Chain A
Amino acid sequence: MTLTPDELFDALGVALRPPPVEPTPAELAALHRMIDERCVDRTTARVPATRSWMRPFVVVAAAAGIVVGSGAAAFAVGAPVPRPIRAVAHDVGLPVDSPELTDAKGAASDLRIVLAINDPATIKRVRARLNHKLAEVPGDERGQIERDTKALLAQADQQLRTAEATQPATGDGSPKGGGAAAGRSKSGDATSGSGGAGSSGALAGGSATGVSGSGPGAASPPGLTLPGQPSGPAGSVVPPAPPRPAPAPAPSVPPVVAPPVVAPPVVATPVVATPAAPAPVTIATVATAADVSAPVVSAPVVAASPPVTSDLAA
């Protein structure tokens, strides 16, 4: 049997022709049941569909929902609202501070902190930043923040004037890198300033001023040299005096600190005084040694300054 493709196709159609069967009445009844159960007439029971012209509004509504939802969640848990969400929420009229106002409030808070620290250089810097942030606050929010920061700025000016007034009397404790400003390094590691010009002033500016008995001036206190002793340049170590014969040991001298036989020149070791450290004990020991007329040279004492956040020191 040799057939052309068309003839073969036709022959195949005849050979494979399905028998003329029809669905039974039961199958037709099942079909009608399925139509009643599963088919929903589009013309009579149309499901509300999103029309094309509604899509932009739906997108905007969804975005607003996300903003409101996330913002409300952030407020509910007390978490800071991310800046983009805050910006959008403020733009759509939600009762949220603008990012600029938030920045200004942050700068005001920073200024409040540095005013407590009383560091003129940092006060000057943070005050300038606050003024800059205030200038960026939108007009409708500026009145409130300006009222809130007016007293702060006035206090900053007052403290700066005071610092400038006391600056000439304190000699080298000027804010130019020496004194307290130098002692407050960015990392808060006050020991790094030992031996420098600012090291002596740093402690005096801190809370451990009971050590020297000098005034708590922020600029530059006299240091830790004991009364009656020559005070060398700030930060310098006075060479020890030549040894002298030691007098008879006083009974009140603790044997641990002052050997009873020979009283070499007592040099206090550098002490790192932290606010919690019992620094006066060491100095009291030195003072006791002074009672035996041994030359006592105070070693630079470095105070750990109060922690200053990197944001403020920046």
Chain B
Amino acid sequence: MTPPAAGRQTGHAIDQAGVPALVERAKACDHDAWEALYQRGYPQLSAYAARRLDPDRARDAVAETMARAVAKIKMYEGHGAGGFDGWLFGILRHVVIDAHRAARRDREGPPVLRPIAPAGPLDNVLEQEEADEVRAAFATLAPDDQEVLELRVVAGLSSEEVAAVLGKRPGAIRMAQSRALERLQRRLKERV
């Protein structure tokens, strides 16, 4: 199963091939390069954060992610399992975890995954209905299954990048993704 291009459908005027050059310029503190990288990753980062935090905190989490990325860009080597997108998601995931810890200290409730809002009107009614069904079935999956599929589909990360973000082996991620899809398929059949 090849990773879909769906995760890169929006907000990506710069494709993956142009990222390394942008990163090199960003290491030299090029403002334009940073802004391009920010705009490129902003939709995925915001969507991931908005599913786990309230809107205000989600925006803060994305801003904090970029702040940490600016501070630590010298440590990014640009090779290995995770690319720049995976590196950013790894930072965002830690920021979200920190936000959840802060919420626990403030006696807030346990973190819940928020429903995925439709991106916008689709071309036809059939496609719209099918997307609603998939979102509803997806919402019934376990949080771990949802996170793996989100990172693969929404963030557009490879299995290796997801493994780097979650701190697991790529093989385990592929296995988890396969099982999550099977469960999603079952839930879809149950809903029909």
CB of A32 within 8 A of CB of B44, answer: no
Evaluate contact between A13 and B153: CB separation under 8 angstroms: yes
Q: Chain B 120-155 against A: per-residue CB contact (8 Å), 1 yes, 0 no? A: 101000010011111100100000000001100110
Specify which chain B residues have a CB less than 8 angstroms from the CB of A12 in the assembled complex: 4, 6, 134, 138, 149, 153, 184
CB distance B31 to A20 under 8 Å? no
Instruction: State which size class the interface on A falls in.
Output: 35 or more
Query: CB-CB contacts of B5-18 with A at 8 A, as 1s and 0s?
Result: 11101110000000
Whether the Cβ atoms of A41 and B6 lie closer than 8 Å is no
Query: Of B1, B74, B117, B119, which is within 8 A of A9 by CB?
Result: B1
In the complex, chain A residues whose CB is within 8 Å of the CB of B188 = 1, 3, 8
Contact A19 B120 (CB under 8 A): yes
Q: Which of A9-65 contact B (CB under 8 A)?
A: 9-23, 27-28, 30-32, 34-35, 38-44
Contact status of A23 and B29, CB under 8 A, knowing A1-B189, A14-B6: no
Return the contact of B116 from the options A10, A15, A30 (Cβ within 8 A).
Answer: A15
B69 CB to nearest A CB, Å: 9
The verdict on A93 contacting chain B, using a C-beta distance below 8 Å, is no
Q: Which residue from B11, B27, B181 sits with its C-beta under 8 Å from A5?
A: B181
> Which 6 A-B pairs give the minimum distances between C-beta atoms?
A13-B6, A18-B47, A15-B134, A39-B29, A15-B131, A17-B119
Q: Enumerate chain B interface residues (CB-CB to A < 8 A).
A: 1-2, 4-7, 9-11, 27-29, 31, 34-35, 38-39, 42-44, 46-47, 59, 62-63, 66-67, 70-71, 73-74, 116-120, 122, 127, 130-135, 138, 149-150, 153-154, 178, 181, 184-185, 188-189, 191-192
Chain A: residues with CB nearer than 8 A to chain B?
1-3, 5-6, 8-23, 27-28, 30-32, 34-35, 38-44
